[in-house]
């Protein structure tokens, strides 16, 4: 390919060597170089890259390279302004570093006009009307998988790419399962046809030589297996965001194995997620110190505190429950249960992702099982999923959340309390 035919007229490698020292590199890593090559060879490039592989700074470098060409239009779109500000701030820093003269710099409207008549703009996919009619040479969509659907592209932005010959679109993101448009775009880019407009690549953490193994080991310990696979290995995980990898054989009649009320080898605890507008969920768990069984459960979407209290009293009588862990947001209910019904509850540890990780380990090791009497709790956990629209791991709040929260309150709080008592 001759220099005349290249999309980037400015040599990227030379530009990288002049980066500010704080950026910490003067040569592109494998993932970053693939981003450059992908845009040179394809009109639409889908870049699936792990955390901390330098995808955002590389996108900013490519934006700057295009802006250095006179009369160029570069646009960045992200799910919201908070996320899109990452590339914006990098580009601003690079413009200042290279002392480029500007005719207009509007932080509020997120637009920069350079003296060479090139323009850099920032948009949120949430503001659809602002996207219409924006002609551009280079379009960068950041955190593309978090945007719910591709209408922002097909309806608003794709037509604008026809204004300038040879314009390009770059989609950069970590994966978010297979039930979204970005996975379809990625598969489209895997076409071997050399004449295809679409290309795609997937780049896990190890493409960045600057990452330290101990950092990765720490992430592997603190994240769930599925989340680590998604964020660092770039796997389009098969569970489509499912938080707990439960299977039907996790649900059985465990009474035949001695998991019954009154067993001297078991400790019985419970978790309570009080619903006000939502359903109230109560789960009873048994443990032998190593394994956990969810032995019974109750959910009520309508009913007074008295209604729920009467159900809890029945469970207490059957299982002789040692501790009930309750949501710390339900303190008045906690007081009412204690004084009116003699149901004493303990505040739960509400560290959501830590609690989820604790239960995920138990599920993965076959140490969390469900009795048939807790089938409704089991089915809720089967449907409990990560929110694909958030950058940080966050579960979807829906009807499956109540049992999931109650179970996490019980097992994680009890586990943490037991660990602290051992170390003291």
- Label residues 377-403 b or e (16+ Cβ within 10 Å = b): bbebbbbbbbebbebebebbeeebbbb
Which of these, 171, 161, 168, lies nearest to 141 by C-alpha position?
171
Token couple for 334? 């906690």
The token duo for 13 is: 């490698």
Angle between helices 305-319 and 331-341 (to 10 degrees): 60
Q: DSSP letter at 196?
A: -
List all residues 6 or more positions away from 411 whose beta carbon is below 8 Å from its beta carbon: 269, 271, 285, 292, 355, 358, 359, 362, 368
Sole residue written with tokens 């071997």? 192
Query: Tokens standing for 297?
Result: 């459960």
State the chain's maximal CA–CA distance in angstroms. 83
CA distances from residue 252 to 247, 257, 378 in whole angstroms, order as listed: 11, 10, 11
Catalytic residue at 143? Answer: yes
Residue identified by tokens 């050399």 is: 194
Q: How many CB atoms lie within 10 A of CB 179?
A: 11
Per the DSSP assignment, residues forming a β-bridge with 46 are 171, 200
Are residues 140 and 59 in contact, defined by beta-carbon separation less than 8 angstroms? Answer: yes
Instruction: Considering the candidates 40, 101, 115, 143, report the single residue annotated as catalytic.
Output: 143
DSSP bridge pairs for 78: 124
**Are 227 and 50 within 8 A, CB to CB?**
no
End-to-end Cα, the chain, rounded Å: 68
- The candidate with the shortest Cα–Cα distance to 211, out of 392, 19, 49, is 49
Residues 293 and 370 sit within 8 Å (Cβ to Cβ): yes
Question: Helices 401-423 and 352-364 sit at what angle, rounded to 10 degrees?
Answer: 90
Q: Give the E-state strand segments of 64-107 in sequence order.
A: 73-78, 102-106
The C-alpha angle 407, 258, 294, rounded to 5 degrees, equals 10
Write out the catalytic residue numbers.
Answer: 143
């Amino acid at each position: 390919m001759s220099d005349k035919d290249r999309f980037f007229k400015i040599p990227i490698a030379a530009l990288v060597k002049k980066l500010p020292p704080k950026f910490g590199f003067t040569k592109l890593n494998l993932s970053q170089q693939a981003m450059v090559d992908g845009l040179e060879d394809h009109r639409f490039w889908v870049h699936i890259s792990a955390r901390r592989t330098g995808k955002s700074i590389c996108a900013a470098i490519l934006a700057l390279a295009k802006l250095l060409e006179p009369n160029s239009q570069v646009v960045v779109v992200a799910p919201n302004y908070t996320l899109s500000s990452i590339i914006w701030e990098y580009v601003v820093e690079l413009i200042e570093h290279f002392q480029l003269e500007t005719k207009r710099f509007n932080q509020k409207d997120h637009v920069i006009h350079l003296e060479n008549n090139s323009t850099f703009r920032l948009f949120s996919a949430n503001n659809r009307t602002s996207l219409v009619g924006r002609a551009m040479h280079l379009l960068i969509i950041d955190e593309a998988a978090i945007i719910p659907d591709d209408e922002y592209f097909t309806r608003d932005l794709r037509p604008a790419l026809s204004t300038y010959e040879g314009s390009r679109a770059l989609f950069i993101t970590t994966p978010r399962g297979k039930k979204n448009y970005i996975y379809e775009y990625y598969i489209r880019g895997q076409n071997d046809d050399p004449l295809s407009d679409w290309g795609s690549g997937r780049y896990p953490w190890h493409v960045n030589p600057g990452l330290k193994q101990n950092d990765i080991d720490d992430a592997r310990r603190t994240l769930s297996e599925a989340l680590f696979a998604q964020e660092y290995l770039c796997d389009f995980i098969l569970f489509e965001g499912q938080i707990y990898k439960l299977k039907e054989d996790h649900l059985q009649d465990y009474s035949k194995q001695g998991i019954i009320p009154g067993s001297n080898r078991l400790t019985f605890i419970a978790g309570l997620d009080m619903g006000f507008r939502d359903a109230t969920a109560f789960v009873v768990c048994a443990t032998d110190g190593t394994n956990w069984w969810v032995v019974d459960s109750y959910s009520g979407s309508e009913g007074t505190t008295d209604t729920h209290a009467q159900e809890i009293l029945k469970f207490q009588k059957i299982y002789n429950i040692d501790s009930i862990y309750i949501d710390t947001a339900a303190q008045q209910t906690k007081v009412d249960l204690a004084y009116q019904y003699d149901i004493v509850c303990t505040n739960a540890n509400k560290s959501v992702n830590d609690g989820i990780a604790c239960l995920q380990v138990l599920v993965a090791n076959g140490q969390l099982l469900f009795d048939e009497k807790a089938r409704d709790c089991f089915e809720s956990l089967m449907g409990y999923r990560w929110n694909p629209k958030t950058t940080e791991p966050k579960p979807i709040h829906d009807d499956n959340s109540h049992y999931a929260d109650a179970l996490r309150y019980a097992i994680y709080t009890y586990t943490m309390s037991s660990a602290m008592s051992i170390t003291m």
